[in-house]
Amino acid sequence: MSCLLVLLLSLDKFLLHYLKKRWLSPRISTSPSKSRRSMAAAAAGGGGAKWSETAMLVIDMQKDFVDPAMRSPMLVDGGQAVVPTVAEAVAVARERGIYVVWVVREHDPSGADVEIFRRRYYSGGKGPTVKGLKGADLADGLVIKEGEYKLVKTRFSAFFATPLDSVLKTSGIKKLVIVGVQTPNCIRQTVFDAVALDYEKVTVIIDATAAARPEIHLSNIRDMKNIGVETPTLEEWRR
């Protein structure tokens, strides 16, 4: 009987040790390659701890949103012009070891998972950014690399009904840099949610984001600046 009691006590200690190690230890990343690749890049580029708590969200840089050749009803008129700037911003982020998150839309062909006001575009199963179709691909020149995270959303905010907040915070992310399209919709909603979720610093690179018209873009940039968001140009941010 005493042997059984000793065995049970030993088993309890083992389970307690395992649970503490599994659930209470800090998690570096939901992607195993994040800590190895991104942090190594930060060290090599001199970024070190300065950028280890920062993520870049690249929002909706897909052909149906930025490529006029797709003839998409969701084309953002100013989108194509910022593709090179977005690509350059991503390159800087990689050099600094910043965790890059690609936020995209990939919808069901039926349109059942899109906003009600957009469902009219999905008759025949060929609506904008349908999963597997060319329009859902990233714009030419943009590529997701190993160790970077792809997040699929179905609404304006990258945080709405997605695991983004959990992915970022379990990776130790406290600061966000945001690029992509379009400013009054997905950029704005994501930014306001990030502020509401208490990210310490939110930055929108103003020449790596775009709207249908410049005045709409600038008006929304002013609104975001008024809630404490930093709004540098790419050149200012990379200094």
> Is the residue at 178 inside a domain?
yes
Q: What is the pLDDT of residues 164-193, one digit of tens each?
A: 999 999 999 999 999 999 999 999 999 999
Is 90 exceeded by the pLDDT of residue 26? no
pLDDT score for 49: 73
| Within-domain flag for 63 | yes
Q: Is 127 left (phi over 0), alpha (psi -120 to 50) or beta?
A: beta
In angstroms, how far is CA 71 from the centroid of its own chain?
26
* 96 and 51 Cβ atoms separated by less than 8 Å: yes
Largest Cα–Cα distance in the chain?
81
Angle at 225 between CA 198 and CA 84, to 5 degrees: 100
3-state secondary structure of 203: strand
Strand partners, 201: 175
141-158 average pLDDT score:
98
Q: In the structure, what pLDDT confidence band is assigned to residue 21 with cuts at 50, 70 and 90?
A: very low
Choice among 16-25, 37-46, 62-71, 91-100 with the minimum mean pLDDT: 16-25
Question: The domain spanning residue 175 has which CATH number?
Answer: 3.40.50.850
Specify whether the CB–CB gap between 182 and 56 falls below 8 A.
no
Look at the block and give the residue holding tokens 């990210």.
199
Query: Do 197 and 55 contact (CB within 8 A), yes or no?
Result: no
99-105 and 201-210 as β-strands: parallel, antiparallel, unpaired?
A: unpaired
**Which domain covers residue 102, as residue numbers?**
45-237
* Total domains present in the chain: 1
Which pair of structure tokens corresponds to residue 6?
Answer: 């000793």
Q: Given this model, what pLDDT does residue 236 score?
A: 99
pLDDT above 80 for 205 = yes
Q: Give a yes or no: residue 61 inside a domain.
A: yes
Cβ contact 148:176 at 8 Å: no
Question: Can you tell me the distance from the alpha carbon of 105 to that of 156, in angstroms, rounded to the nearest whole number?
Answer: 9
Measured CA to CA, the distance from residue 231 to residue 223 in angstroms comes to 11
What is the separation, in whole angstroms, between the first and last Cα of the chain? Answer: 71
Any idea of the CA torsion for 213, 216, 221, 224, to the nearest 10 degrees? -140
Q: Is 177 helix (H, G, I), strand (E, B) or coil?
A: strand
Instruction: Tell me if 34 is assigned to some domain.
Output: no
Cis peptide before 182 (omega within 30 of 0): yes
Q: Say if 23 falls within a structural domain.
A: no
1: in domain? no
Looking up tokens 């905010």 gives 157
Q: Using the predicted structure, report yes or no on whether residue 69 has a pLDDT greater than 50.
A: yes
